[in-house]
């Protein structure tokens, strides 16, 4: 267990989770899978079949629901029951598939804030569970991975080892253990077959590339998919992750606001690091006070934006399960599998373009985005329409303090995704350069989480502090 800071506690720090279910209950993995299930489904056929079970399962429940209504059960009760069963199946299928399928579920959990409440409401809790909780692997599989990576005598490395994971996510799960020297540690174990599962999901996406291209003529998918593949391969390598984490740990050593655990041991499929005491930031989303929402929303944004300056890396997995509220008030950060190396910090052009967009110079924004590869030379685009499309990215900086809300995000979602709206066609004409892929992922994910938190954040101040070229 990491020792509390010797300094005075940070103002606004929380020593207990907000009212509601305790974090340990939320983050603990659900019941173990049947013992025969020791590996992930890895073939495209098996994974596609499992995914197909979601709409098929819903159809079956709809037929059953019709029968119950005919039998006299109230329609509202039947609808609620169907939604709850569908939500549970969503958690089970995406959780058991893990890999890219679960990553899709984690992305859904971030962006549910943009969906109408009548759509997202029944699935909110289920999707949130996918942030740091999924059906766990059986103990014997865990032991086999540890023996393969740490040697047959792996138990001798620990005074205690808890077979029940405290968190289970897309490619690995985390166990609490006690090292021989008495330190409490987190042991991260990669699922057997996780690599094949992720590559299977990516292969299916690649086969759909032509279809996506016909829908979005401005998008060049080949270099983007190549970048995704490279990032996935890196995320599967715990030795690479350990180096990312070590870099962040050194950069944020002794910080009064943030804590990054040091790596103690690493192998290709096992990562042992300092334990981060505290509870998931998802608890703030569910039950936090206004002060907690504003404080940790600000710290969350600050950490993501400051990484490229302080550690020359961008933490690129922004879902709340990777951020912990510590007893001394600091924000603990875990999981450095997805990282963008930025030796020069954020691209200078990024800050300059954000600043220009804020001034309303549409022609200059269009020219700059063309230069950076966001708009192909063959694509015609109205500058004013483009500026309107980019509004969600720059609006939080228009005021001294911006209030991120679900209602605001839903309004933006409706505007940008309505085929009848002129903004919809703009999105079809834009390209995503590979070097901006993770930046884009983090920025949009961050906005989604801040809206879930209902946080007031001085976004402009943070952009001025951490984004080169933004301030004028």
Q: How much is the pTM?
A: 0.74
pLDDT at 344: 94
pLDDT of residue 441 exceeding 70, the answer is yes
pLDDT score of 14:
45
**Euclidean distance between CA atoms 16 and 35, whole angstroms:** 36
Q: Are 35 and 138 in contact (CB under 8 A)?
A: yes
Mean pLDDT of 256-266: 97
* Residue 57, pLDDT score: 42
Can you tell me the distance from the alpha carbon of 319 to that of 108, in angstroms, rounded to the nearest whole number? 10
More confident of the two residues 13 and 262: 262
β-bridge mates for residue 325, sequence order: 279, 331
pLDDT of residue 423: 80
Which helix (H) or strand (E) segment holds residue 173: the answer is: strand 172-179
Q: Which residue has the tokens 């944004």?
A: 301
The secondary structure of 295-332, three-state, reads HHHHHHHHHHHHHHHHCCEEECCCCHHHEEECCCCCEE
Q: Which residue has the higher pLDDT, 59 or 309?
A: 309
Report pLDDT for 412.
85
Alpha helices, H only, 7-43:
23-27
pLDDT on residue 222: 67
Confidence of residue 125 (pLDDT cuts 50, 70, 90): low
Q: What percent of the chain has pLDDT over 70?
A: 64
Q: What is the mean pLDDT of the chain?
A: 76
Q: Can you give the pLDDT at residue 313?
A: 97
Q: In whole angstroms, what is the distance from residue 422 CA to residue 427 CA?
A: 10
Given this model, what pLDDT does residue 195 score?
74
Q: What mean pLDDT is predicted for residues 178-182?
A: 95
Q: Which letter does DSSP use for residue 157 in this model?
A: G
- % pLDDT > 90, the chain: 46
Q: Model confidence over 370-404: pLDDT tens digits? A: 999 999 988 999 999 999 888 888 899 989 999 99
pLDDT digits 0-9 by tens, 70-111? 444 444 454 445 444 554 554 455 444 444 444 444 444 444
Q: For residue range 149-165, what is the model confidence (pLDDT) as tens digits?
A: 999 999 999 999 999 99
For residue 299, pLDDT over 90 is answered with yes
């Amino acid at each position: 267990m990491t020792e509390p800071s010797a300094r005075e506690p940070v103002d606004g720090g929380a020593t207990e989770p907000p009212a509601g279910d305790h974090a340990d209950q939320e983050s603990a993995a659900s019941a173990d899978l049947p013992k025969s299930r020791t590996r992930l489904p890895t073939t495209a056929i098996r994974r596609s079949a499992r995914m197909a079970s979601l709409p098929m399962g819903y159809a079956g429940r709809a037929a059953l629901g019709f029968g119950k209504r005919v039998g006299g059960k109230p329609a509202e009760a039947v609808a609620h029951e169907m939604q709850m069963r569908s939500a549970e199946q969503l958690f089970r299928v995406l959780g058991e598939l893990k890999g890219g399928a679960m990553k899709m579920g984690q992305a859904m959990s971030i962006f549910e804030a943009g969906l109408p409440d009548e759509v997202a409401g029944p699935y909110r809790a289920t999707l949130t569970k996918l942030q740091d909780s999924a059906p766990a692997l059986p103990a014997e599989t865990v032991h086999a991975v540890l023996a393969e990576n740490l040697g047959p005598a792996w138990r001798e490395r620990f005074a205690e080892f808890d077979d029940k994971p405290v968190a289970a996510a897309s490619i690995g799960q985390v166990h609490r253990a006690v090292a021989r020297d008495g330190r409490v540690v987190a042991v991260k174990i990669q699922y057997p077959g996780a690599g094949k599962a992720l590559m299977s999901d990516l292969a299916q996406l690649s086969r759909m590339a032509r279809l996506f291209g016909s829908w979005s003529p401005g998008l060049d998918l080949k270099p983007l998919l190549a970048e995704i593949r490279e990032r996935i391969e890196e995320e599967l390598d715990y030795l690479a992750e350990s180096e990312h984490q070590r870099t962040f740990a050194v950069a944020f050593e002794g910080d009064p606001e943030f804590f990054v655990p040091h790596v103690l041991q690493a192998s290709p499929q096992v990562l042992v690091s300092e334990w981060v005491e505290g509870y998931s930031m998802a608890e703030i989303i569910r039950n936090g006070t206004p002060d907690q929402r504003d404080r940790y929303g600000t710290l969350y944004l600050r950490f993501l934006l400051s990484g490229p300056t302080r550690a020359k890396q961008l933490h690129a997995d922004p879902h709340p399960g990777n951020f912990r509220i510590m007893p001394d008030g600091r924000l603990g950060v875990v999981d450095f599998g997805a990282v963008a190396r930025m030796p020069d910090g954020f691209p200078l052009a990024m800050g300059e373009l954000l600043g220009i967009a804020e001034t309303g110079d549409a022609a200059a924004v269009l020219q700059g985005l063309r230069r950076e590869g966001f708009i192909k030379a063959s694509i015609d685009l109205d500058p004013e329409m483009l500026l309107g499309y980019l509004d969600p990215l720059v609006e939080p900086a228009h005021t001294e303090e911006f209030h991120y809300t679900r209602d605001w995000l839903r309004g933006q979602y409706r505007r940008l995704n309505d085929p009848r709206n002129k903004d919809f066609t703009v999105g079809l004409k834009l390209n995503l350069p590979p070097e901006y892929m993770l930046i884009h992922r983090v920025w949009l994910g961050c906005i989604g989480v801040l809206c879930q938190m209902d946080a007031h954040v001085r976004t402009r101040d943070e952009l001025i502090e951490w984004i080169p070229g933004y301030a004028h």
